[in-house]
Every structure is written in structure tokens, then in C-alpha cells.
Structure 1
Amino acid sequence: MASSTHRRRPRQDRDFAWRPVRGPLLAVAAVAGVALLVTLIVAFRPGGSGGGGQDPAGSASAAATAAGAPERASASSSPTSAKPSPAAPSPTASRRASSPSASATPSAASPARQAATGTARTPATTTAPAPGRIRPGTTYDGVATAYDVGDGDGACSYGPTSDVMTAAMNTADYETAKACGAYVSVRAAGGAPITVRITNECPAPCAVGQLDLSRQAFAKLAPLSAGRIAITWSLLSPATSDTVSIRYKTGSTQYWCGIQAIGHRNPLARLEVRTGGGWLALTRTGYNYFLSEQGTGCGSEIRLTDIYGEQLVVPALAVRPDTVQRTGLQFTRH
């Protein structure tokens, strides 16, 4: 029993020895626990200064912005205030509506799409070629002189004619026979206009804008004694009962040919012949024939284009030199 008592005594002695200080230790522990709990609550409460004084929500927002993501609404914003007002579209919606890809892509049934499709399908017959010096709807200033036309033949190679209301065009505006066959309205100051057809070229010293009229035509504007008068002139697309004719030049064969169009209402911009590879444009000469030096297309279909872009297709004609062959075709009046 002594042994048992002996074993208990040290415990009782320790208990006795610690009793005087147990109360203060428990108090200190309690205070420390409370302090720790307070510290944890302060550290992790919303808006606290945990993480080195940086707002975790703010850190996430900054990181998202740096990564290119849209910025989140602040925690204080309500769901209602975060939604865009119907009266004020969001910037994203505005950019989308005004983006080139959205505005430049009409629906399949929209007028813009239909107009673009119609333009793309416009036949070549309405595509005007590059305009020459003499343009429709333009009035030109110049001077008029007079000359004796003789039998009416001239640089345009139309041959003799009884038509005396003709004129020779200055070299610049003659433009390698592009003016041949053009009808021109000519007016002197204070007078009535007259209409003449270009059948010849007036070389230097004729100046740009100058017309050398037949004597008969000049006399309708002023006395021949005037010699030289100021005029204005412009291109016409007149009414006519005539139709276009085709003439092969003297010496033409299937191996070489020159082709001329006669009687066209509007100035001629191009003459093409049908070949195995399509249409071939022939070169125009100053004497108003279109040449096929190698005979390509001689005797085949002929396509004529006026300065307005209208095209006439003439069926294949036999190569008959110096013979006028009627087509029954005519360009539209403008």
C-alpha cells in the first residue's frame, strides 16, 4: 500500500504545486484564444485586409481585364443595374450593328443584293467602251471655215454622195476616223443650229474644235465672205430611216480583208469579227476601214459597238469587195 501511496503522492504533490498558478494560465490561454479568433475574423471578413491589403475580388477583376476578358460588375451592383437599359444599347451591340461585315451583307431578298446581281448580269451590249474625244452631252467651242467638198468623198472613204450637209473634223477630234459618220449640231452666235455629218478630216492648220464645213452648210450660218466664224457644236443621235451596211474593201479575200460600216446612227467605237476563239477586235485605220491582216474572221459574223456601248451582231456575209451589203440593223437613238 505504501508503494501505491507513494506513486500517488507525487501526483498529488504536483497538483498541489500547480494549483496556485492554474487560474492565471487558464486566463491567459482564454485571452490568447479570443485574440486569435478575433484576428481570424478580421482577416477573412468581406472587404478585409487579408492578402497583403489587396481586395481578392479586385485582384480577380484586374487579372480578367489583363487577360482581355470583359470586366465583371462590382459586388455592389445589383443584377438589375448590371443589365443594359433598352433605351441605351450596349457598346458591343452598337459596334456589331455598325461593323462593315454586318452592314455590307444584305439579305438575299434585299434591294441592294438584287441591284448588285442585276449589275453583275448586265450584258455586254450596255457596257460603254472607253469614251473618245467627242462625248455625248458635251458642247464644244471652236471655229468654222468652209471648203468645196466636190463629189462628197473624203478621208472617211464613204465615196461620192449627193449629201452636201457635211463637214471635215480637225485631226485631234477626228481621232483616227472615230469621228467618221458622226452627226453634229453646229450653232453660230444668235443663229439657228444646223446638222452636218462628218465625212472628212481637216488637217493642220485646223485647230482643236474646228470644223471645216461644206460651203452649203457654212452659208446657213453666215455669209461665205465671213470666212471664219465662232461656233459651238455637239454630238447628235438623230432620227433616221437608214440602216447599217457593211462593205469589204477592194482587194479583200479570205486571207486579207478590210471591213467598213456605213450608215450607223451613232459613232462606231469597235468592230469585231467572230473567230474560233471568240470575238477579235480589228484595228481601225485613218481611212475608216478595220483591217484583218491575216484574214482572221474575214467572211464571218461581225459585231459592231457604238460609243454608247450598244452592240449589233451582223450575220456572216460573203467577202464581196467594194459592195455595199445591207444588214437591216440600226443603233438606238439617244
Structure 2
Amino acid sequence: MASASHRRPRAPRKRRTALVSAVVVAAVGLLLSLVFALRPGGAPDTVRTAAGPGDHGGPRTAPTAAKRTPAPKAKPEPSHASPGPTRTPTAAPARPSPAPTPRTSARPASGAAPLAGRVKPGVTYRGIATHYDAADGDGACSYGPSPDLMVAAMNHTDYETSAACGAYLLVRAANGASVTVRVTNECPLPCAPGQLDLSKEAFAKLAGLSAGRIPVSWSLLSPATSDTVSIRYKTGSSRHWCGIQALGHRNPLARLEVRAGGGWQRLTRTGYNYFLSPDGTGCGGSLRLTDIHGERLTVDGVPVRPGVVQPTRVQFARVM
């Protein structure tokens, strides 16, 4: 009985030992598996290697997706911007551009005078009016005798190398009287800018001649007239040299051109109101006249006849 009681306690000891051993072996095995799994050459590398071929889609898929995400955003921005420029030309296409050409060649808006010099339409100028003996009305503009003596000599500054020749002016005095005159002459210095030297006949419409000098205001007119423009070649003109003059134009003349080499050549204007062609270019050929408003008149078949006034069938439009 003693021995039997002595053996019974040993059996549990063996079970405990076996149990402890099993636990130790399991812990060691777990530790080894963790070490093996986490070492550089372990399974994770195999996973990376498997993802390696997928590098074009795996790890770079996110950046690619990130790139694609802005791409749709970027596309709408240009697409929204591009309709803007596209609509702008649509709103104002190239086709309407010819519209200004007819306006320029025909008649700009009332009062517009892109080629005007110092004297412009729609502007009221102020100065002094004096008077002189205009005789037959001829003067520096070289028009010859005037059909009436309602003429004026423009001060040297506003005469502007004969640019004022032929201009019609409405002159008003402080007392309310007015008169319409045509510029046919130049008033030399000391005539000041704004000053007009009127014929005695024109001055008398504003005040008594004894007044001598009176303050006035004046502005450019585009008068009603049934006359047409005339052309005159200067004495001595030929096919080799010529001076050309336009007379009877309703509005101040800005340019005179001659046909040359398939185009138009602008002639130089002199202080005595002739346009010169020193080498004979265009003498006897087609002429093109342009007023300060930009309207152009073409005259064909005007032969070189020195000193002869040759009427045409054209006239500049009236500007109100």
C-alpha cells in the first residue's frame, strides 16, 4: 500500500512535464515561424515579387489614378475655356469686317473726320474777325475769281499748307449776326490762330466796317449745293510734269491720288493748293479724291488741259 501510494503522485508529474514540454515546443515553434516570416528573405518578399510585375498597375496604380483624377478636371477647364474664344469669333466673325469698308469709302458717322487737320467738324473755334479788300475773291488758294464775295482768308496756322482751302465756315458775332463764307485765301502773320480776315462784304454782315476787329466764333459747314467737283491742271502741266487742283468740293479735301502701277499714288499738296506730280506719274490718268471724312471719289478720263476747268459728275456727300 505504501508503494502504491508512492507511485500515484509520479503520474501527475509526468503529465505536467509533457504539458510543459508541449507548451515550450509550441512557443518555440511560434517564435521561429514569426522570425521566419519577418526575415528579409521570407514570404513578404515573395509577395513583393508577385507585386513586382504588377508594378505597372499595383503600386503605380495609385499615382496613375491620382494623375487620371486631375485629368478629367483639367479637361473640363480647357473645354470651358475653348468655347469662349470660339464664341467670340462667332459673335464677331470675319464676314462683318467688310462692313467698315463700305462705311469708310462711303460715309462715316456724322461729324467723324479721320483725315481732318486743325479744322475739324463739330468744333466751335473762337477768335477775332478783321476785314480786307478781297477784290474778285481770288487768293492763295489759286481758285481764281469767286462767284460771290462771301470769302475769307484763314490765319496762317489754321490754313495748314492750304488744307483749309475750299472749306465753308459759319461765322457768328457776339450780337447774334452770322454769315457763311468760303476760305479762298491765307491771312499771314500776325494773324493769330482762330482769326479770320473776312472780305469787307462778309464783315459787313456782322458789324460796321468801322468796328475793325470783333470777337467771333466759327465752325465748319457741309453746305447744300447742286455743283459738282471740277478738275484743273496748272499752267505748264504736261505728261511729264503736272499740278492738279480740285475745285467746288463740298467738304475740305484731304488727299488727291493718281493711278500708278496698278495702285494709287498720293501727290504732295502745295501752299498754293495744287497737288504736284514732279515726274508726270498719273498726269492725264484716273484721279482719286478723298475728303476729311474719308469719302473717296474716283474720276476717270480727265485729260491734261492746262488752265482749263473741267467739270466732273461727282460730289462729296453732305455731312449734317
TM-score, length-scaled by structure 1:
0.73
Q: Where does residue 26 of structure 2 map in the other structure?
A: 27
Partners of 2:164 and 2:233 lie apart in 1 by 20
Q: Distance in 1 between matches of 2:62 and 2:67?
A: 10
Cα 1:69/1:122, change in 2 over 3 Å: farther
Counterparts of 1:167-316 in structure 2, within 5 Å, are 167-316=152-301
Q: Tell me which residue corresponds to 1:146.
A: 131
Q: Does 2:93 align with 1:113?
A: yes
Shift of 1:36: 8.0
Identity %: 56
Amino acid at match of 2:318: R
Contact 1:171 1:202 in 2 (8 A): yes
**Deviation sequence 1:19-65 (CA, Å, 0-9, x none):** 686413333146548978999xxxx9xxxxxxxxxxxxxx9899679
- 1:5 aligned residue: none
Q: Distance in 2 between matches of 1:253 and 1:288?
A: 18
In structure 1, the partner of 2:14 is none
Residue 11 of structure 2 corresponds to none
**Which whole-Å CA distance do the structure 2 matches of 1:64 and 1:142 have between them?**
81
CA contact (8 A) 2:115 2:293 kept: no
Give the secondary-structure state (helix, strand or coil) at the position aligned to 1:158.
coil
TM-superposed deviation, 1:300: 0.3
Q: Is structure 2 residue 310 aligned with structure 1 residue 325?
A: yes
91, 101, 125: which is aligned to 2:105?
125
Please give the per-residue CA displacement for 1:270-315, whole angstroms capped at 9, x wherever unaligned: 0011122421111110000111111111100111000000011111
Structure 1 segments, 4+ long, off by >6 Å, are 33-39, 59-65
The separation in 2 between residues aligned to 1:234 and 1:121, in whole angstroms, is: 28
Q: Is the 8 A contact 1:106 1:113 kept in 2?
A: no
* 2:141 aligned residue (156, 161, 170): 156
Tell me if the contact between 1:282 and 1:292 (Cα under 8 Å) persists in the aligned partners.
Answer: yes
* C-alpha distance in 2 between matches for 1:199 and 1:170: 11
- Does structure 1 conserve the Cα–Cα contact (< 8 Å) formed by 2:170 and 2:219? yes
Q: TM-score of the superposition, structure 2-length normalised?
A: 0.76
